[in-house]
Amino acid sequence: MTAPDIQQFMTNAPWAFPLIVVLAIWSIAWQIVGLWTAARNGHKAWFAVFLLVRTLGILEMLYLSSQRRSRGRS
């Protein structure tokens, strides 16, 4: 996409920018929690995955859910 294409899209879809901002904040928040939990638990591989892969928080939510379930069993 060129700059004029992006400007035209933003003019025709004014909802796009706020949606992008909300998704970015959502993703960053989940990524911080996932990184912090993986580091605290010593899971270096998970930490690297969270640092390198952007999934809008989905992977982080799955990881945190699995950690809560395993913590409840111990």
pLDDT in tens, the chain (74 residues): 688 888 888 888 888 889 989 999 998 898 899 999 999 999 999 899 888 887 778 888 888 888 887 776 65
Q: So what's the pLDDT on residue 7?
A: 84
Question: Where is 7: in which H helix or E strand?
Answer: helix 3-12
- The crossing angle, in degrees rounded to 10, of helices 16-40 and 44-52 is 170
In a domain, 10, yes or no: no
In a domain, 13, yes or no: no
Q: Which domain holds residue 61?
A: 23-69
Cα–Cα distance for residue pair 36/46, rounded to 1 Å: 11
- Domains: count for the chain: 1
Q: So what's the pLDDT on residue 54?
A: 77
In a domain, 8, yes or no: no
Q: So what's the pLDDT on residue 37?
A: 92
In a domain, 11, yes or no: no
In a domain, 58, yes or no: yes
Q: So what's the pLDDT on residue 74?
A: 54
Q: So what's the pLDDT on residue 9?
A: 84
How far, CA to CA in Å, does 21 sit from each of 16, 18, 47, 67?
9, 5, 24, 29
